[in-house]
Amino acid sequence: MKFERITIDPEKMGGVPCIRGLRIPVATIVGLIAEGMTSEEVLNAYPDLQPEDISEALKYAAEAVREQTLPLVSS
């Protein structure tokens, strides 16, 4: 999968994946959506974002989870 809107720059934000070279980490966008914000609310909170940025951030997060095992709590 190719990501055109996700950038990693060691000189910005410590090299964490960000949106289009902006100082907006993918994790921030994914976290806001996970907390219940709508895409429209995220776009209002971050006017530099575009709807496609949110979509690609979610796809990037899904791909990142596929690539590793995360610890889970047994129920």
Q: What is the DSSP string of the chain?
A: ---SSEE--TTSGGG--EETTSS-BHHHHHHHHHTT--HHHHHHH-TT--HHHHHHHHHHHHHHHHTS-------
Q: With 80 as the cut, is the pLDDT of residue 73 above it? A: no
pLDDT tens column, 16-67: 999 999 999 999 999 999 999 999 999 999 999 999 999 999 999 999 888 7
Residue 61 to residues 22, 27, 56, 70, 74: CA-CA distances in angstroms?
17, 8, 9, 13, 23
Q: Set out the domains of the chain in order of their start, with CATH numbers.
A: 6-66 (1.10.10.10)
Q: Are the C-beta atoms of 12 and 62 separated by less than 8 Å?
A: no
| pLDDT value of position 8 | 95
Q: Are the C-beta atoms of 21 and 49 separated by less than 8 Å?
A: no
Top mean-pLDDT range of 1-5, 10-14, 70-74: 10-14
